[in-house]
Amino acid sequence: MPDNEEIVTLLGQSLRLRPLRAGDRALLEDLCGRTESHDLQMRFFNGFRSLPPSLLDELMRIDPDQRITLVALGAASSGQPDILAVARAHASADGTAELALLVRSDLKGIGLGSLLLERLIARCRSRGLRVLAADVLQNNTRMLRLAERYGFRREPGELGITHLVLDLDSLAVWRPVTKYDGAANGSPRR
Ligand SMILES: CC(C)(COP(=O)(O)OP(=O)(O)OC[C@H]1O[C@@H](n2cnc3c(N)ncnc32)[C@H](O)[C@@H]1OP(=O)(O)O)[C@@H](O)C(=O)NCCC(=O)NCCS
């Protein structure tokens, strides 16, 4: 398996975590198509019925130097992979990165967001990024709680928005806090 890929077990199911690839467009479109308008609103601040192609183009822009984009893949009943969730951090030259997460609506609340956030934080730290930040709607309690568990602090944002900030270089000993059942490749459960 390539270095940047990983198999983990979540609630007894095997998932593959890997960076987004150029061939993932249809899978990403399918994920967004299966995500409720409310959740698209939380992610994009716009309750699209379907994602505009230009936005999909932007999300599919692969730029390994500036974008860390992780997908969680599971096997659909057809045997083909499905993207279940996506996490991304878009880095700027000043060492800060903008975080965004999207978990398929029917899979929220089982640990996917925590799992991807944990892995994203680890990758950002290993890249030497200093700050991970996100603008989150003030009524997005699920994301605000998730971020709080990972040590993000809240700062006032624009109207209706909370700005979340995590100082990556001050986390001297950072410990993951997820509930998922750990890696499937023989690593101990955490
Ligand atoms: C916000 C979001 C990313 C969170 O992801 P998620 O997968 O639902 O989050 P998790 O399942 O890891 O955690 C959510 C809750 O489930 C709980 N949980 C996690 N794993 C669990 C498990 N195996 N069993 C029971 N509960 C579990 C967590 O403790 C957490 O509880 P809390 O909210 O009381 O703290 C997701 O809901 C989402 O995509 N929302 C729409 C888009 C969005 O808001 N994006 C964020 C903007 S950047």
* pLDDT, average across residues 89-112: 97
What confidence tier does 177 reach under pLDDT thresholds 50, 70, 90?
low
Instruction: Tell me whether residue 163 is exposed, middle or buried, using C-beta atoms within 10 angstroms of its C-beta: 0 to 12, 13 to 18, 19 or more.
Output: middle
Pairing of strands 13-19, 6-10: antiparallel
State which of 8, 86, 107, 108 you would mutate to test the pocket of ligand 1, scoring each by most atoms of that ligand within 8 A of its C-beta. 108
Residue 130 confidence (pLDDT) above 80? yes
* pLDDT, average across residues 54-77: 94
Pick the CATH number of 6-170 from 2.60.130.10, 3.40.630.30, 3.30.360.10, 3.40.640.10: 3.40.630.30
Closest ligand 1 atom, residue 134 Cα: 48
Enumerate residues lining ligand 1, CB below 6 A.
11, 39, 42-43, 100-103, 108-114, 134, 136, 140, 142-143, 145-146, 179
* pLDDT, average across residues 152-179: 82
Nearest residue by C-alpha to atom 22 in ligand 1: 110
Lowest-confidence region among 10-19, 35-44, 74-83, 157-166? 74-83
Residue 134 confidence (pLDDT) above 60? yes
What confidence tier does 184 reach under pLDDT thresholds 50, 70, 90?
very low
Which position has the higher pLDDT, 68 or 50?
A: 68
Nearest residue by C-alpha to atom 9 in ligand 1: 113
Those residues whose C-beta lies under 8 Å from the C-beta of residue 144, and which sit 6 or more positions away, are 136, 154, 162, 164
Closest ligand 1 atom, residue 115 Cα: 12
